Amino acid sequence: MVRVRFAPSPTGALHVGGIRTALYNYLFARNKGGRFLLRIEDTDVERSKKEWIDVITEGLRWLGLEWDEDIVFQSKRLGVYQEHAMKLLEEGKAYYCYCTEEEIQEHKEIARTLKKPFKYPRTCLKRSKEEIEAFEREKRPKAIRFKVPEGKTVFNDLIHGEIEFDNSEVEDFVLLKQNGFPTYQTAVVIDDHFMEITHVIRGDDHIANTPKQILLYRAFGWEPPEFAHLPMILGPDKKRLSKRHGATSVTQFREEGFLPEAIFNFLALLGWSPGDNREIISKEEMIKVFDIKNVNKRACVFDINKLLWMNSEYIKKLNDEELLEKILPFYEKTDWFKVEEHIDVLRKIVPLFKTRVKTLRELPEFSNYFFTRNYRYERKGLDKHFVDPRVFEILEEILSEIISLKDFDKESAERVVREKAKQNNVKAAFIIHPLRLVLTGKTVGPGLFDIMDVLGKDEVIFRIKRALKELRGFVPGKTAYPEGTI
């Protein structure tokens, strides 16, 4: 049975590269009818935090990446790593290293001076018996290093094909640090073996680690898993994706109003294609067609505009009640929305904005004027739509007509506006645009008559009256922003 794992370190949020790695492991396992496992690599005691574990697991669940077995925590397996490192030591496949940090730094400085990559010079493998005994008497701290054998290490990467390393290029890496904690290489090999991992799918920044791990597998007498190394994700500037490019973590995407289905869809196609031109693909369909061999070898670019488009498509697919449920938390964060007072209005405006927003967070921003009078008129709108003084005259006529209406709804509002435009021999847009600005403070949004219908007769009257008072005498391009506007 195929068994894969996602193995994050709880030292920070779950970022784009890690999310995609988890996603590809998940798709591969589900496609093969296998198991998707989660391991927390928390042996870095100083940097690992419980709160980051919660962030990681919550992020995976939010994306629908449920693991199949209990989480494995490396911090609970220190004895296992120490036992196996000692076994290699006893078999002559590893040796004690007494070098201090200062001595290692000296070797690194020499390498820099010679403009050569640093490689541990096997200092402790060459030490005399007397030196070692002296170190033991003084109880000098010691690590355990793996003794890299001669030869070549070759493996077939499921994405990149055959990769070969000359063992002479691989240094004698540390298995156990002086404090008794394992290094990454040690823990990952031992855990992958005992978790019965069949395929290791991870970022291609780990390619250099692979020969070390294969050598360890062989030293233990174990069969290595198959490897697949995913291409790097770049920002629009073709540099490695980082915080300077904007949101990069699950937490940030969630807070900015992205849907998990959109993130899942977008990241799945970031380096992989099902072989056709489809952009919107369900998780179920991806599971059916996913093939790790179709993953690109080259780095891919994170296109935030494409993600925004994709998120908007998933928002459109929600029914009104689903969208209401998802956007409510974003409204509750504002200081002007009260659920008990405004929920009915919110239900009315959901269908008006469903096709207009790209993220859930945009909805409160775009629709705040439905719930508060505390908005300002956009200056560009004032300068563009209040050039002709006839606007004020027609607004007064519309106000008078609305006041006299017994029944006020979308149809009656539209009839009044269009009739007044016709009577004044102007196009309907001549008054529709300034009236929208008066009622919302904005130059764009849902249809004007939908807005008027939701606001209701009394609120429309109030807002037109306020605008006539505040904007009278306004000269586009010259007058400072009207003091009375808020």
Same domain? For 465 and 384 the reply is yes
Closest among 220, 111, 135, 120 to 174, alpha carbons compared: 120
98-125: b (≥16 Cβ within 10 Å) or e = bbeeeeeeeeeeeeeeeeeeeebeeebe
User: Residue 329: exposed, middle, or buried by beta-carbon count in 10 A (0-12, 13-18, 19+)?
Assistant: exposed
Mean pLDDT (whole number) for 158-167: 97
Axis crossing angle, helix 457-471 with helix 428-440, rounded to the nearest 10: 100
pLDDT at 247 over 70: no
Same domain? For 386 and 333 the reply is no
Instruction: Let me know: does 35 contact 1? Beta carbons within 8 Å.
Output: yes
Catalytic residue among 49, 87, 239, 243: 243
Torsion over CA: 41, 46, 47, 48 (sign) = positive
Structural domain range at position 261: 1-68+231-316
Whether residue 411 lies inside any domain: the answer is yes
pLDDT at 475: 73
Whether pTM > 0.75 for this model: the answer is yes
Q: What is the CATH number of the domain that holds 45?
A: 3.40.50.620
**Per-residue pLDDT tens over the stretch 371-410:** 999 998 998 999 899 989 899 999 999 999 999 999 999 9
Q: Which residue has the higher pLDDT, 277 or 209?
A: 209
Whether residue 433 lies inside any domain: the answer is yes
Whether residue 190 lies inside any domain: the answer is no
Instruction: Let me know: does 241 contact 248? Beta carbons within 8 Å.
Output: yes
List of residues 6+ apart from 125 with CB closer than 8 A: 95, 145, 147, 172
Please name the helix (run of DSSP H) or strand (run of DSSP E) that holds residue 248, with its range, or none.
none
Same domain? For 239 and 307 the reply is yes
Whether residue 307 lies inside any domain: the answer is yes
pLDDT at 486: 39
pLDDT at 321: 97
**Per-residue pLDDT tens over the stretch 193-205:** 999 999 999 999 9
**Per-residue pLDDT tens over the stretch 436-462:** 999 999 999 999 999 999 999 999 999
CA angle, residues 276, 280, 284, in degrees to nearest 5: 90
Which has the minimum average pLDDT: 39-53, 140-154, 246-260, 470-484?
Answer: 470-484
CA 19/CA 141 separation, integer angstroms: 38
Whether residue 221 lies inside any domain: the answer is no
Mean pLDDT (whole number) for 352-374: 96
Torsion over CA: 153, 154, 158, 161 (sign) = positive
Q: Which residue has the higher pLDDT, 471 or 408?
A: 408
Same domain? For 326 and 360 the reply is yes
Same domain? For 338 and 295 the reply is no
Cα dist. 428→402, 414, 424, 453 in Å? 17, 10, 10, 18
| Amino acid letter, 106 | E
Domain count of the fold of the chain: 3
Rounded to the nearest angstrom, the gap between the alpha carbon of residue 280 and the centroid of all alpha carbons in its chain is 18
Whether residue 341 lies inside any domain: the answer is yes
Indicate the residue among 316, 332, 351 that finishes a domain: 316
Please name the helix (run of DSSP H) or strand (run of DSSP E) that holds residue 288, with its range, or none.
helix 283-289
Instruction: Let me know: does 357 contact 315? Beta carbons within 8 Å.
Output: yes
pLDDT at 472: 80
Same domain? For 304 and 336 the reply is no
pLDDT at 242: 73
Same domain? For 250 and 331 the reply is no
Same domain? For 360 and 391 the reply is no
Same domain? For 405 and 457 the reply is yes
pLDDT at 12: 87
Closest among 170, 118, 169, 172 to 147, alpha carbons compared: 172
pLDDT at 353 over 50: yes
- The answer to whether 283 is a known catalytic residue is no
Same domain? For 337 and 359 the reply is yes
**Per-residue pLDDT tens over the stretch 207-245:** 999 999 999 999 999 999 999 999 999 988 888 887 677
Whether residue 45 lies inside any domain: the answer is yes
pLDDT at 139: 95
pLDDT at 484: 44
Residue keyed to tokens 């093969």: 32
pLDDT at 235: 87
Band the pLDDT of 480: cuts 50, 70, 90.
low
Same domain? For 279 and 356 the reply is no
Q: What is the CATH number of the domain that holds 467?
A: 1.10.10.350
Mean pLDDT, the chain, as a whole number? 94
Whether residue 353 lies inside any domain: the answer is yes
**Per-residue pLDDT tens over the stretch 64-95:** 999 999 999 999 999 999 999 999 999 999 99
Same domain? For 330 and 260 the reply is no
Band the pLDDT of 46: cuts 50, 70, 90.
confident
